[in-house]
Amino acid sequence: MQEGEFSSTTTSFKRGKKQAVTRRIVPEIGYGLSPTRWHYLRGGKGKRAGKMVNFRIPLAPKQDDRHDEHKGLPTTTQEIPQRRRSITFVIIIWSATWPLSISHCQTASLLLVSNLPEAPAMSGPTKYMLVSLPTSISQSSDQDEALTALRSTISNDNGTTIPFKIPEFKIGTLDALVGQADDLAKLDGTCQGVVAKVGESLRNLLEGDESKIAQQKTVNDKPADQYLRTFSWNKVKYRADKPLAELIDSLQKELVSIDNDVKGKMNQYNQVKTNLTTLQRKQTGNLSTKSLTPVVDPKLLVQDSEYLETHLVVVPTNVKKDFLKTYETISPMVVPRSSVEVTHDDEFTLFAVTTFKKHSAEFQLKCRENKWTPRDYKYVEGGKEEERKEAERVGKDERKVWGEALRLSRTGWSEAVMIWIHVLTLRVFVETVLRYGLPLDFVCGLVKSSPKGAKKAKAALDTTYGYLGGNAFGRDKKGKALKDDSALSSEIAAAGVGGQEGNEYTAYVYYEFEII
């Protein structure tokens, strides 16, 4: 390496329990490392060729910065709040000798590692909002400027806003649009229900394991958030040149088909699972429920007798002595001293008792009255092997149907979400036409936020774009639209028109949803 040449690398930084996380590596040339840009130098140290220099750089300057006269850079040990300032760690390996001049830094190619996320962290479930506004909200009526205005209104603190593409659909009559708006509102609710039901099927199949459930919940082989951010109308399945009524009907039929398919497969799985559980209980349960085939010796039974019959009775172990004292007298024609202890477990003891056939029913009734459990049992040659094979067969069936149900539920959830987003797209379009009229000139944004951020974003939208409602809203003394107009809410509720939640009316097109 020759004089003036350099190489660069990156590192992580750890202080206490805080660990810098590498988010991205961005090469920059001519960074301009002036004192006004380098607001902090923490642990800054310079050594000769082959060593490294560590810098810590926040965004905002502080009034109490102290400049090191040797380097011309500010130094401080004051703590910088992580939320307010971006911290960058730069490590440069130089062949040049120290001191390092600013001109050298300006020609350096630096690798920047930021320990702050690219977007605000979301706490709790993610809320999404589709917002459609006329381009007239910007002075030039330009779509890009209108989207910028929407972003400014939402602000990065309350959510992330990206453009959401709405195709141009065929527009029918006004009466047809009003009816289609109602149909889409109902279909929207149905979509939410189907997505939730299929999601619950995945939860049942995966026994509530959230990490496994999350792996299965993809939309078109993408995470749901990525699908929304890159959403594009499926022009192959739902041609935009078709009438809206035909598109709505097609989406509804597909949704019903998904619901029926998943429901049918889950019913099949639940039936097989019930059968398997019953067989397993017979193999592993206590003497009152388990199969007696493996434990009963056929030699203990009176077989092929015209008059006698052997009964198997399960008796709680703690009353075994009472049973032995009284079993001969609880009904007529009990063979004396015929009781034989067959086996026992932690709770029960199994006895074999012989009676005359004509009093068998009475004997069993008296046993139940004494809280002893008579078990129906008939010896079958090879029964033990048959039960084992049956359990294996049902176990294989259960695993097979489980896999089929999982695949169908995963696919069903993906397709149901895709249908739902297409329905929401149609809702935005139809409502935009009804609200803003023709010719269509609007911008639609997808806002990703947290529950708390969504409320703040909605309040900001109401404040900024409430004027779009015209005289629909009541006004306060200053002329501002009232956010809670009880008279308007009553009229809207009576007409059966409103938003998704609580029939809330907004002055602009707004749909809030959550994919879970």
Q: Are residues 110 and 145 in the same domain?
A: no
Compute the chain's Rg from CA coordinates.
37
362-385 tens-digit pLDDT: 999 999 999 999 998 887 776 777
Tell me if 354 is assigned to some domain.
yes
Residue 1 lies in a domain: no
User: Same structural domain for residues 132 and 31?
Assistant: no
Domain membership of residue 324 (yes or no) is: yes
- The residue from 328, 355, 379 where one domain ends is 379
| Residue 62 and residue 91 in one domain | yes
Other Cβ atoms within 10 Å of 489 Cβ, number? 15
Q: 490 falls in which pLDDT band (50, 70, 90)?
A: low
Long-range CB contact pairs, 201-204, < 8 A, 24+: 201/262, 201/266, 201/405, 201/409, 201/412, 202/406, 202/409, 202/410, 202/413, 204/266
pLDDT in the model for residue 296: 87
State whether 468 and 354 are in the same domain.
no
Query: Which domain range does residue 310 map to?
Result: 298-379
- Give 118's pLDDT tier (boundaries 50, 70, 90): very low
246, 134: one domain:
yes
pLDDT at 279: 86
Q: For the chain, what is the mean pLDDT?
A: 77
Same domain, 144 and 244: yes
Buried residues in 3-40 as b, exposed as e (16+ CB within 10 A): eeebebeeeebeeeeeebeeeeeeeeeebebeeeebbb
pTM exceeding 0.75: no
Do both 364 and 441 map to the same domain? no
H or E element: which one contains 168? none
Q: Could you report the per-residue pLDDT of 150-175, keeping only the tens digit for each?
A: 999 999 999 999 999 999 999 999 99
pLDDT at 48 over 70: no
Same domain, 58 and 92: yes
> How confident is the model at residue 480, as a pLDDT?
55
Query: How many domains are there within the chain?
Result: 3
